[in-house]
């Protein structure tokens, strides 16, 4: 890889025609309650390398065009789960979405995730989301005395819930769910995924309690298997499958 | 206030939307159906009179729509049961949906003559 300085001279010599940069339009849904109760779409045209990510484009807009643009991001590498947003109508992480993969010929729409209250621009109130997560008790529950050594587990037992350990709590799944848009009381896919992670853990003894919580009218039975959550998950978790496994565990009481 | 865009869901979401729409349509049919059948308790003549008004090509088209709604709702209902209770269901949901649509098309073609044949003869003469 060339050094930044070399890169610059290369570009200058090659001229504009060979530039990797393209002009892309970002149509962003803006909301600022301090200025107006109205929501509006605002277009930004920027020069950007299509191999860059949507998050880079948002940075460019915020740093160079409009400092008031508000969004969350922390690690910027798909681990912290801060920058879930709706890009071209679908929930994705802005830091894992390359511009070339979402057709930059047309305006790229960016809006906040659905079903949670928008606080400003792309920032939503995540409290109801995390409340549902807390309600399924996402921690190890055991009975009896603490063992004197670590709790051992076979590779097969670990494999049983491997898929649901990958969750980063970005809310892309929960806010893609039509049932959740309609009624925020529904636990939502993310909470069920994290309950699944403990229900099917052989070391955990709180499975019955968690299943009872999810047997509630706002629990797993509200899932309508639309598969939006599975399609939206940036970690590739088979969310609908996990929910189905919890449903089946509730009926068979085998987990 | 400019609305947000439509969520761009895939097969799973649209099959759910179709399932809801056909379900509501079938509910409205059942509502009318219970009412007109209940007319038998008023008098058999009143029932015959009302059912006689159904013998038009437009109602035949509606009946074909009813067949379409019920077939889709029934077949997709089986798919949803498989998604929920068959271990491989969630992974095969798209294949199962296309199977449902395939069977639906075949049965709809099969229902063309039995349901609409009479109306076609009415409109274009025998």
Residue A166, in any domain of the structure = yes
**C-alpha of B58 from chain center:** 16
- Put simply, the answer to whether A41 touches B2 (Cβ < 8 Å) is yes
Q: What is the pLDDT of residue B19?
A: 96
Same domain, A135 and A108: no
Task: Name every chain B residue with its beta carbon within 8 A of the beta carbon of A250.
Answer: none
**Which one of A94, A124, A154 terminates a domain?**
A124
A-interface mutation test, from B11, B73, B90, most A Cβ less than 10 A away: B90
Whole-angstrom distance, CA of residue A188 vs CA of residue A220:
8
**Which one of A89, A124, A159 terminates a domain?**
A124
Task: Name every chain B residue with its beta carbon within 8 A of the beta carbon of A88.
Answer: 8
Whole-angstrom distance, CA of residue B33 vs CA of residue B11:
32
Contacts of B101 (CB under 8 A, 6+ apart): none
Residue A150, both tokens: 């670590």
Q: What's the DSSP call for residue A234?
A: T
Task: Name every chain B residue with its beta carbon within 8 A of the beta carbon of A244.
Answer: 83-85, 89-90
- Put simply, the answer to whether B80 touches A225 (Cβ < 8 Å) is yes
Task: Name every chain A residue with its beta carbon within 8 A of the beta carbon of B11.
Answer: 227
Q: Which residue of A has its CA nearest to B18?
A: A226
**Which one of A91, A109, A124 terminates a domain?**
A124
Arithmetic mean of pLDDT, B78-106: 95
Same domain, A143 and A36: no
What residue has token string 């409205």?
A: B28
The candidate with the shortest Cα–Cα distance to A56, out of A15, A100, A5, is: A100
Dihedral pair phi/psi, residue A167, rounded to 5°: -60, 135
Same domain, A243 and A131: yes
Residue A62, in any domain of the structure = yes
Put simply, whether B82 touches A (Cβ < 8 Å) is no
pLDDT above 70 coverage of chain B, percent: 96
- Put simply, the answer to whether B7 touches A29 (Cβ < 8 Å) is no
Whole-angstrom distance, CA of residue A244 vs CA of residue B84:
5
Dihedral pair phi/psi, residue A40, rounded to 5°: -145, 155
Q: What is the pLDDT of residue B86?
A: 92
- Put simply, the answer to whether A90 touches B8 (Cβ < 8 Å) is yes
Task: Name every chain A residue with its beta carbon within 8 A of the beta carbon of B76.
Answer: none
- Put simply, the answer to whether B90 touches A244 (Cβ < 8 Å) is yes
Q: What is the pLDDT of residue A160?
A: 94
Residue A219, in any domain of the structure = yes
Query: Which helix (H) or strand (E) covers residue B37, if one does?
Result: helix B11-42
**pTM of this structure:** 0.86
Among A38, A88, A241, whose Cβ lies nearest the Cβ of B8?
A88
| Structural domains of chain B, with CATH | 12-124 (1.20.1300.10)
Same domain, A177 and A214: yes
> ipTM score of the complex?
0.84
What residue has token string 């159904």?
A: B54
- Put simply, the answer to whether B7 touches A86 (Cβ < 8 Å) is yes
Residue A137, in any domain of the structure = yes
Domain hosting A106: range is 18-124
- Put simply, the answer to whether A247 touches B84 (Cβ < 8 Å) is yes
Question: Which contacts (CB < 8 Å, 24+ apart) does range A201-206 have?
Answer: A201/A140, A201/A153, A201/A157, A201/A160, A201/A161, A202/A153, A202/A154, A202/A157, A202/A160, A203/A140, A203/A142, A203/A151, A203/A153, A204/A140, A204/A141, A204/A142, A205/A141, A205/A142, A205/A143, A206/A137, A206/A140, A206/A141, A206/A142
C-alpha atoms less than 13 angstroms from C-alpha of A100 in its C-beta half-sphere: 7
- Put simply, the answer to whether B2 touches A244 (Cβ < 8 Å) is no
Q: Which regions in chain A score pLDDT beneath 50?
A: 1, 6, 8-9, 11-12, 14
| Beta bridge partners of residue A44, listed in sequence order | A26
Arithmetic mean of pLDDT, B41-63: 90
- Put simply, the answer to whether A226 touches B13 (Cβ < 8 Å) is yes
A-interface mutation test, from B1, B2, B3, B4, most A Cβ less than 10 A away: B4
| Beta bridge partners of residue A87, listed in sequence order | A90, A110
B3 pLDDT band (50/70/90 cuts)?
low
| CATH code, domain carrying A206 | 1.10.1060.10
Q: Give one DSSP letter per residue of B83-99, joined into a string.
A: HHHSTTTTTTHHHHHHH
Same domain, A114 and A149: no
pLDDT at B126 > cutoff 80: no
| CATH code, domain carrying A30 | 3.10.20.30
CA distance B115 to chain A (A): 32
- Of A2-16, A198-212, B8-22, B106-120, give the lowest mean pLDDT range: A2-16
Same domain, A147 and A205: yes
Task: Name every chain B residue with its beta carbon within 8 A of the beta carbon of A36.
Answer: none
Put simply, whether B33 touches A (Cβ < 8 Å) is no
Residue A119, in any domain of the structure = yes
pLDDT at B1 > cutoff 50: no
Strand, helix or coil at A15?
A: coil
- Put simply, the answer to whether B7 touches A109 (Cβ < 8 Å) is no
Dihedral pair phi/psi, residue A237, rounded to 5°: -75, 135
pLDDT at B98 > cutoff 60: yes
- Put simply, the answer to whether A240 touches B80 (Cβ < 8 Å) is no
């Amino acid at each position: 890889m060339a050094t930044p300085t070399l890169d610059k001279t290369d570009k200058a010599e090659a001229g504009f025609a060979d530039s990797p940069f393209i002009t892309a339009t970002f149509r962003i849904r803006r909301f600022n309650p301090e200025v107006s109760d109205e929501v509006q779409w605002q277009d930004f045209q920027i020069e950007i390398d299509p191999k860059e990510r949507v998050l880079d484009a948002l940075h460019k807009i915020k740093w160079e065009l409009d400092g008031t643009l508000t969004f969350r991001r922390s690690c910027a590498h798909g681990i912290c789960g801060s920058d879930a947003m709706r890009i071209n109508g679908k929930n994705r992480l802005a830091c894992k979405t390359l511009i070339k993969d979402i057709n930059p010929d047309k305006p790229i729409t960016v809006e906040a995730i659905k079903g949670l209250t928008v606080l400003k621009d792309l920032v939503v109130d995540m409290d109801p989301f995390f409340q549902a997560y807390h309600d399924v008790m996402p921690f190890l529950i055991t009975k009896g005395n603490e063992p004197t050594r670590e709790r051992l587990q076979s590779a097969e037992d670990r494999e049983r819930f491997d898929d649901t350990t990958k969750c980063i709590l970005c809310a892309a799944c929960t806010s893609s769910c039509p049932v959740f848009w309609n009624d925020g009381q529904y636990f939502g896919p993310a909470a069920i995924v994290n309950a699944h992670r403990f229900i099917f853990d052989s070391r955990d003894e709180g499975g019955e309690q968690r299943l009872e919580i999810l047997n509630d009218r706002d629990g797993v039975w509200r899932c309508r298997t639309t598969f939006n959550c599975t399609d939206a998950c940036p970690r590739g978790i088979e969310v609908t499958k996990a929910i189905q496994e919890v449903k089946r565990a509730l009926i068979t009481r085998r987990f | 206030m400019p609305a947000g865009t439509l969520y761009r869901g895939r097969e799973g979401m649209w099959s759910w939307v179709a399932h809801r729409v056909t379900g509501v349509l079938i509910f409205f049919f059942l509502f009318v159906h219970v009412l007109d059948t209940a007319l038998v308790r008023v008098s058999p003549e009143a029932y015959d009179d009302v059912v006689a008004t159904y013998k038009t090509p437009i109602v035949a088209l509606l009946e074909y729509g009813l067949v379409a709604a019920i077939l889709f709702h029934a077949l997709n209902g089986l798919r949803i049961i498989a998604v929920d209770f068959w271990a491989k269901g969630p992974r095969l949901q798209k294949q199962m949906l296309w199977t449902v649509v395939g069977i639906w098309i075949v049965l709809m073609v099969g229902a063309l003559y039995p349901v609409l044949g009479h109306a076609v003869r009415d409109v274009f003469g025998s």
